[in-house]
């Protein structure tokens, strides 16, 4: 399980943070779980209901995340899933999304939660989507990480 060794993250005084979630539309079932986990995490953290923006696929996440960061959100959560196929397309999409989302965070100073699953098959994606029977909830984890980082940054800004 890839979540082994994950830290226990505690976040305080983040109720006034503005959070946005940008989510791809490919793989309905997996995405429904990721989005539900992200929304649940935001409620548990006390930030209220995040803004939700849907884009066609994972490749479109960076440009939407950048727009949300520039629109004044304190934390942005990017959710998507890319499943390996029989061509190099998987590698190009995963690399582009990862680099793009990293660039958004570095350029804007807004934390971007990385909730993009890069899986060999649908079974792996379902196991990480936070659905009933899943071993992990990456939507929840990505939201918690983004909000915790935004809260931490308050001490240096």
pLDDT in tens, 50-94: 999 999 999 999 999 999 999 999 999 999 999 998 888 999 999
Is 144 annotated in some ligand binding site? Answer: no
pLDDT at site 55: 98
What mean pLDDT is predicted for residues 17-24?
97
pLDDT at site 134: 95
The length of the chain is: 157
Positions annotated as catalytic residues are 89
For the chain, the structural domain boundaries read 19-153
CATH code reported for the domain at 19-153: 3.40.50.960
Q: Which tokens go with 12?
A: 């305080």
Is 157 annotated in some ligand binding site? Answer: no
Is 83 annotated in some ligand binding site? Answer: yes
- Looking at every residue in the chain, the average pLDDT score rounds to 93
Q: Is the pLDDT of residue 2 over 60?
A: no
Q: Is the pLDDT of residue 1 over 90?
A: no
Residues 44 and 75 sit within 8 Å (Cβ to Cβ)? no
Is 90 annotated in some ligand binding site? Answer: no
């Amino acid at each position: 399980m890839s979540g082994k060794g994950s830290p226990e993250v505690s976040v305080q005084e983040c109720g006034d943070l503005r959070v946005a979630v940008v989510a791809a539309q490919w793989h309905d079932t997996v995405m429904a779980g990721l989005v539900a986990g992200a929304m649940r995490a935001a409620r548990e953290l006390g930030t209220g209901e995040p803004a939700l923006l849907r884009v066609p696929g994972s490749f479109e996440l960076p440009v939407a995340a950048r727009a949300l960061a520039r629109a004044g959100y304190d934390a942005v959560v990017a959710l998507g899933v890319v499943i390996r196929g029989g061509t190099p397309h998987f590698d190009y999409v995963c690399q582009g999304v990862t680099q793009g989302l990293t660039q958004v965070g570095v350029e804007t100073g807004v934390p971007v939660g990385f909730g993009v699953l890069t899986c060999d098959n649908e079974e792996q994606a379902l196991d990480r989507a936070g659905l009933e029977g899943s071993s992990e909830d990456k939507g929840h984890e990505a939201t918690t990480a983004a909000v915790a980082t935004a809260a931490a940054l308050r001490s240096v800004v």
